[in-house]
Chains A and B, each alone.
Chain A
Amino acid sequence: MLKVSIWRGVDEGEFIDYEVPMRANQTVLDIVTEVQRNQEPDLAYRFACRVGVCGSCAMTVNGRPRWTCRSHVNDVIDGDRLVLEPLRSHPRIRDLVVDLAPFFETWKGSGAVFKPSATRDDKPVKITADDPARKNADAGIECINCAVCYSACDVVSWDKNYLGPAALNRAWTLVNDAKHGERKETLNKALGDGGCGSCHSMGNCTRNCPVGLSPSAGIAGLKKFALRGLPKVEKP
C-alpha cells in the first residue's frame, strides 16, 4: 500500500492520510483520482488531458512542483510516502486546486501578449529555420503555461512584484519573433518593474520545467538585448 498525505482545506487546513494500493505504471494523477473516486468524493483537484499537454494538473509532489499526469509514482515516491500539496505561490481555492488567474496576469505585465505586425491581406513573413532569432524563440516556444516554473522560483515566493519565469520566457520568444508587432514594447516591459532585473539566476525554473525549457536562458537573453539592442529580424 502507498501512504498518501493530501492537503485538505484552503490556507487553513490539514494533511489527511490515505492508503492506496500500489499498481504497475501508476502516475501521481492516478493516485489522486483513485482517492477521489473511492475514498474522498469531495476532494478538489484539476486535470484535463492526462498526457502532459494542457498544463492543468500541476501540484507539489513530495516538495517539488510537478505535472502529476506525467510523474510516475516510482520516480517520485519517498519510501512508501507521497505528500501532495497545491502549487505554491498561487492563491488557494480548495484542496489541490489553486487560482491561476494572477499567474496569467503576469503575462500581460511582461508584455507577453502577441500583437500581429501584418494583416491577413499581407504576405507572410519569410522566416528560415536557421535564423538566429528564430532559434532563440524556438528554444522557449513549447511552454504550456503549467506554472511549475513559477511555483519553483524562490524569487516569485519572496517578491510579489516579480513576474516570474514563465511570463518572461514568453516575452523572450516574442522579442525574437519577426511576426510580433511590438518587440520593443515587450522588451521594455520585460525589463521594467518586476521584470528580468529581479531574477537571481538561481535556475529553479529550468531545473523543474517538465518540458525541459530554460526560462533562465531567456531571462539572461532579455538582459543581453537590453545592452545590445534587439536582434534583426525579417521585415513583414
Chain B
Amino acid sequence: MANNRQSMRTHKSYFAFVGHRVSGLLLALFLPIHFLVLGLALEGADALNRFLAFSELPLVKAAEWGLVVLLAIHLLFGIRVLMLELTDWPNSADGRTAWIIPSVIAALLVGVIFLAQL
C-alpha cells in the first residue's frame, strides 16, 4: 500500500540528493546541444545566425534561464557534497543541511542576474 510512502524521504538531504541528480541529468542533456551550437559557430556565420534567431524565442529564453539556475544548483549542491566528503563534520549529526536552502536561494539569485542581463 502506497500510503504515506514518502515520509522517510521528506528531509533536506534527500531533497538535495534529488536536486543534484536531476540537475545533473538535465545538464547532461543540455551540454551536447551547447557544444552543437559552438560547432555551428565554427562552421560558418549562416548556420549560427539561424540558430541565434531561434534562441531569441521566448520559450528558448525560458529554457536557458532554467539551465543557468540548474547549473548553479548543481554546482552549489556539488560543493556541499565535496565538503561532506573531504572535510571533517562539525558533529556527526550535521550533514551541512543548513547549506541546502541557501544554495537554492543563491541559485535563484544567479537566475535573477541572468534575467537582468537579457
Contact = CB atoms under 8 A, between A and B. Distances in A.
Interface of A: 5, 15, 62-65, 78, 81, 83, 85, 139-140, 152, 154, 200-204, 206-208, 212-214, 216-218, 220-221, 223-224, 227
A159 B6 CA distance: 20
Given A15-B1, A206-B93, 5 more contacts: A62-B4, A64-B7, A200-B17, A220-B89, A224-B86
Interface residues of B, number: 26
Interface string B1-37: 1111111110101100100010000000000000000
Nearest to A223: B85
The 4 tightest CB contacts between A and B, nearest first, are A203-B13, A63-B4, A217-B92, A202-B17
B17 A201 contact: yes
A207 B86 contact: no
A12 to B, nearest CB: 15
A63 B92 contact: no
A214 B1 CA distance: 29
Contacts of B43: none
A227 B88 CA distance: 13
B85 A62 contact: no
18 contacts: A15-B1, A62-B4, A63-B3, A63-B4, A63-B6, A63-B8, A83-B3, A83-B4, A152-B8, A200-B21, A202-B14, A206-B93, A206-B95, A207-B11, A217-B92, A220-B89, A223-B85, A224-B85
Given A201-B84, A206-B95, A63 B5 contact: yes
Contacts of B92: 139-140, 213-214, 217-218
Contacts of B81: 201
A214 B95 contact: yes
Contacts of B11: 203-204, 207
Interface of B: 1-9, 11, 13-14, 17, 21, 81, 84-89, 91-93, 95, 97
A15 B97 CA distance: 37
B7 A62 contact: yes
Contacts of B89: 217, 220-221
A29 to B, nearest CB: 19
Which of B92, B93, B97 neighbours the largest number of chain A CB atoms within 10 Å of its CB?
Answer: B92
A210 to B, nearest CB: 12
B1 A85 contact: yes
Which of B4, B8, B21, B85 neighbours the largest number of chain A CB atoms within 10 Å of its CB?
Answer: B8
A60 B97 CA distance: 26
A170 to B, nearest CB: 14
Nearest to A172: B92
A139 B7 CA distance: 26
A52 B96 CA distance: 29
Contacts of B4: 62-64, 78, 83
Given A201-B84, A202-B17, A224-B85, A65 B95 contact: no
Nearest to A136: B92
Nearest to B10: A207
Contacts of A224: 85-88
